[in-house]
Amino acid sequence: EWAERGAAMIVKDVTDKETGKVTKHVMKKGINDFKFGETLGDGSYSTVLLATSIESGKKYAVKILNKEYLIKQKKVKYVNIEKNTLQRLKNTKGIISLFFTFQDETSLYFLLEYAPNGDLLSLMRKHGSVNEVCTKYYAAQIIDALDFMHSKGVIHRDLKPENILLDTDMKAKLTDFGTARLLESTSPGDIKYDLLTRSNSFVGTAEYVSPELLNDSYVDFRCDIWAFGCIVFQMIAGKPPFKANNEYLTFQKVMKVQFAFTAGFPVRIRDLVKNILIKDPDRRILIPQIKAHQFFADVNFNDGSVWENDPPELG
């Protein structure tokens, strides 16, 4: 059932050698249509490899998941969530594209858009931190992508610099939707409380997790906004706002909202971050206010320029 619906159909003209008659054949794209290359990344239950289409030479990133392992680890549900989410977010700016899915006896395959310029974490590591202009450039793309995503009823729940890839044009592309939540309501103004049960009470990464998840075990759209605030802080400071030697101590800092701006942290970004990293989600600023914040005063979110402008000098 999993592969059938998502399998790509390719219609090919096949010429009969004896009669010369041309007939249309429906072929399914499969593993044999790609040449697999270097490893691009390793997840907890998946591996991402570079894949090249033999027919077109086009490059993809193929995420490979071992079926037996998924079943044993009870992760099948998350793979389906990832697939359904990526399908719902098709043609959304700032979200990695899913082109095909298929399977063989051992594995499931996601043929994803290949983002050849690494991720935001490696960009920050390379430069130590990024300057204000560059922070604004990526922050604008990330918040716009979150806006699209939330308006389509998707909460990411594990937003972090590693999950923000840089595409061919150095534009941001969110990825890794295995922990996403799909909501029926797609109205962004209507905040839906997404109650979690004990069995799945923790999703996310310690440094970017919101206090409400730790205190009350619920998350809604605003957990992605919290993570966005942490990422903006990190771009400037070179390290996330809540960081300790272990997860437990990190959680304690998050719950107390205990963080300090580094010396020289630009005033306008301080104000933005201060208005996001607020414990009570009801007092935290939302996406429309973030877009209207003075930090984005010279950014036009309505004319597509956020996605068209060339990236500024990094560093």
Which of residues 115 and 143 has its CB atom nearest to ligand ADE in the complex? 115
Which one of residues 78, 100, 102, 114 is an interface residue with ligand ADE (CB under 6 A)?
A: 114
Residues touching ligand ADE, count (CB under 6 A): 11
Q: Which is nearer to ligand ADE, 172 or 236 (CB)?
A: 172
Q: Assess 112 for contact with ligand ADE (CB under 6 A).
A: yes
Q: How far apart are CA 210 and CA 154, in angstroms?
A: 17
Nearer to ligand ADE by Cβ, of 64 and 196: the residue is 64
CB closest to ligand ADE, residue no:
61
Q: Which of 132, 139, 154 is nearest to 84 (CA)?
A: 154
Nearer to ligand ADE, 168 or 186 (CB): 168
Nearer to ligand ADE, 70 or 115 (CB): 115
- Rounded CA-CA distance 226/120 in Å is 17
Q: How many CB atoms lie within 10 A of CB 19?
A: 8
Q: How many CB atoms lie within 10 A of CB 265?
A: 14
- Cβ(207)–Cβ(129) under 8 Å? no
CB of 51 to ligand ADE, least distance (A): 10
What's the closest the beta carbon of residue 42 comes to ligand ADE, in angstroms? 9
CB 101 within 8 A of CB 111: yes
Query: Contact, 269 vs 261, CB < 8 A?
Result: no
Among 115, 139, 219, 236, binds ligand ADE (CB under 6 A): 115
Among candidates 58, 62, 54, 69, which has minimal Cα distance to 102? 62
Residue 94 to residue 23: CA distance in whole angstroms:
40
Asked whether 273 and 226 are in contact (CB, 8 A), the reply is no
Smallest gap from residue 40 Cβ to ligand ADE (A): 4
Q: 177, 210, 201: which is closest to 98 by C-alpha?
A: 177
Shortest reach from residue 192's CB to ligand ADE, in Å: 29
Looking only at residues 55 through 74 of this chain, which bind ligand ADE when binding is defined by CB under 6 A? 61
Tell me, yes or no, if 158 is annotated catalytic: yes
Candidates 108-116, 179-187, 214-222, 243-251 — which segment interacts with ligand ADE by CB under 6 A?
108-116
291: phi > 0 → left, psi -120 to 50 → alpha, else beta; which?
Answer: alpha
CA angle 86, 242, 178 (to 5 degrees): 15
Site string for ligand ADE, 88-107 (x = CB under 6 A): --------x-----------
Number of Cβ atoms within 10 Å of the Cβ of 132? 16
Q: Which is nearer to ligand ADE, 96 or 269 (CB)?
A: 96
Beta bridge partners of 174: 95, 164
Count of other CB atoms within 10 angstroms of residue 294? 11
Minimum distance, C-beta of residue 88 to ligand ADE, in the bound complex (Å): 18
Active-site position among 158, 176, 220, 224:
158
- The CA-based diameter of the chain, rounded to the nearest angstrom, is 79
- What is the footprint of ligand ADE within residues 152-191 (CB under 6 A)? 165, 175
Question: Shortest distance, CB of residue 43 to ligand ADE, whole angstroms?
Answer: 8
For the bound state, the minimum distance from the C-beta of residue 177 to ligand ADE, rounded and expressed in Å, comes to 11
Spell out, one character per residue from 21 to 50, where the chain touches ligand ADE: x when CB under 6 A holds, - when not: -------------------xx------x--
Q: Which residues contact ligand ADE (rule: CB under 6 A)? A: 40-41, 48, 61, 96, 112-115, 165, 175
Catalytic residue numbers read: 158
